Amino acid sequence: MRTVGWDASRREVQLIDQRCLPGRLETVSFWDYTRLSEAIRDMVVRGAPAIGVTAAFGIALAADRSSARTIELLRADLAQADAVLRASRPTAVNLFWALDRMKRVSDQPVGGCDELRERLLTEALQMAEEDIVTNRSMAVNGAALIQDGDTIIHHCNTGALAAVDWGTALGCIREAWQQGKRVHVLVDETRPRLQGARLTAWELTQYGIPFDIISDNAAGYFLRSGQVQRVMFGADRVAANGDVANKIGTYMLALAAHANQVPVIAVMPASTIDRSLKSGDAIPIEERDAEEVLGITVHGERVTPEGATARNPAFDVTPNHLITALVTELGVVHPPFVRNLASLLGKD
């Protein structure tokens, strides 16, 4: 089952509702791009590549459901959908990359409204297919960095659920496992939304890969006691110098790994690299509702006192000097990242 898909008979976007996992595997359908944008914000769908493809389908959906009869009116409807989808989440650059790509299609000269509708749907469907091909290439490149017997700390969820299918960092681990390498994953629970404990653990159970869930603050203990050979995670946006924005907690994990000489490997499609930004300092960091932090319950009771306040940045930036390798579908990049990323990606 794909995380994001198009139901051709009902002409709707279909998403796995990630809020229900691991309890229930449910899909939810969307025929309205505004609701789809809310689904991105509420994390029905999450993970940078999955967000990008969902937004692309949002534009295809807006075109499909628009009653416009002239190209000008259809393009005006698409501009509105673009603005709504663009405002859903700020950090994952795949969202903007996907919407820019759909805009290039809608700006091209076209014979009529139905032709444009068809072209936009074709583009979104193609992006979904490309995502899987890209992830499979990344997986092979990243699996080559994993050795038989490795114990790997993995942060957040970067598996099939974070993409259309297969995923980024977890895709590399899955590929290594399928190649016969015996790996063990220490799954960071990933507070406050628990993408590790809920989603990564669920995926690893499906694949039969051995794992243990650890609390985020246990990572330093495992790294210092020599029980970990690699740290792996994905990325929401990578700057031209190799600084990596990823799920909150990644920076602390990379610091602890670096202090203990454990390689830190970040895995992402080339579409996650934002060459317009010189360094990670310019990456916008989403701050989410404090209730995600405050509302945690134990034995059915909220753990925080009434009136408590919280801060809830959803991402942090890991500076490039803490990173050993960046894995993409085009190849693996080592430091110095400014030069090596530029030569990997070419001039464009």
Question: Can residue 242 be called a binding residue for ligand MRU (CB under 6 A)?
Answer: no
Nearer to ligand MRU among residue 26 and residue 107 (C-beta): 26
Least separation in angstroms between CB 190 and ligand MRU: 8
Question: Can residue 141 be called a binding residue for ligand MRU (CB under 6 A)?
Answer: no
User: Exposure pattern of 173-201 as b/e (b: 16+ CB <10 Å)?
Assistant: bbbbbeeeeebbbbbbbbbbbbbbbbbbb
Binding mask 206-235 vs ligand MRU (x if CB under 6 A, - otherwise)? ---------------------------xxx
Catalytic residue among 64, 82, 188, 236: 236
Nearer to ligand MRU among residue 82 and residue 316 (C-beta): 316
Sort 223 into a burial class: Cβ within 10 Å, 0-12 / 13-18 / 19+. buried
Residue ranges of alpha helices (H) inside 209-296 are 219-224, 250-259, 291-294
Least separation in angstroms between CB 43 and ligand MRU: 6
Which residues 161-190 are close enough to bind ligand MRU by CB under 6 A? 162-163, 168
Question: Can residue 158 be called a binding residue for ligand MRU (CB under 6 A)?
Answer: yes
Contacts of residue 191, defined as CB under 8 A and 6 or more positions apart, other chains included, come to: 216, 249, 293
Distance CA 50, CA 142 (A): 20
Question: Can residue 266 be called a binding residue for ligand MRU (CB under 6 A)?
Answer: no
Question: Can residue 195 be called a binding residue for ligand MRU (CB under 6 A)?
Answer: yes
Question: Can residue 257 be called a binding residue for ligand MRU (CB under 6 A)?
Answer: no
Question: Can residue 192 be called a binding residue for ligand MRU (CB under 6 A)?
Answer: no
Q: Which residue in 64, 189, 236, 243 binds ligand MRU (CB under 6 A)? A: 236
Distance CA 249, CA 190 (A): 7
Nearer to ligand MRU among residue 168 and residue 320 (C-beta): 168
Distance CA 173, CA 209 (A): 9
Question: Can residue 156 be called a binding residue for ligand MRU (CB under 6 A)?
Answer: yes
Residue ranges of alpha helices (H) inside the chain are 33-41, 48-65, 71-86, 93-107, 113-143, 169-178, 201-207, 219-224, 250-259, 291-294, 337-345
Least separation in angstroms between CB 320 and ligand MRU: 17
Nearer to ligand MRU among residue 77 and residue 292 (C-beta): 292
Whether omega before 192 lies within 30 degrees of 0, making that bond cis, reads yes
Q: What is the DSSP secondary structure assignment for residue 287, as one 8-state letter?
A: B
Question: Can residue 56 be called a binding residue for ligand MRU (CB under 6 A)?
Answer: no
Distance CA 23, CA 191 (A): 18
Does 243 participate in catalysis according to the annotation?
A: no
Question: Which amino acid does the sequence have at 18?
Answer: Q
Q: Residue 348 has which token pair?
A: 């464009």
Nearer to ligand MRU among residue 5 and residue 192 (C-beta): 192
Which residues 22-51 are close enough to bind ligand MRU by CB under 6 A? 46-49
For residue 31, which of 55, 52, 14, 49 has the smallest C-alpha distance?
A: 14
Residues near ligand MRU (CB under 6 A) are 46-49, 92, 156, 158, 162-163, 168, 195, 233-236, 246-247, 314
Active site residues: 236
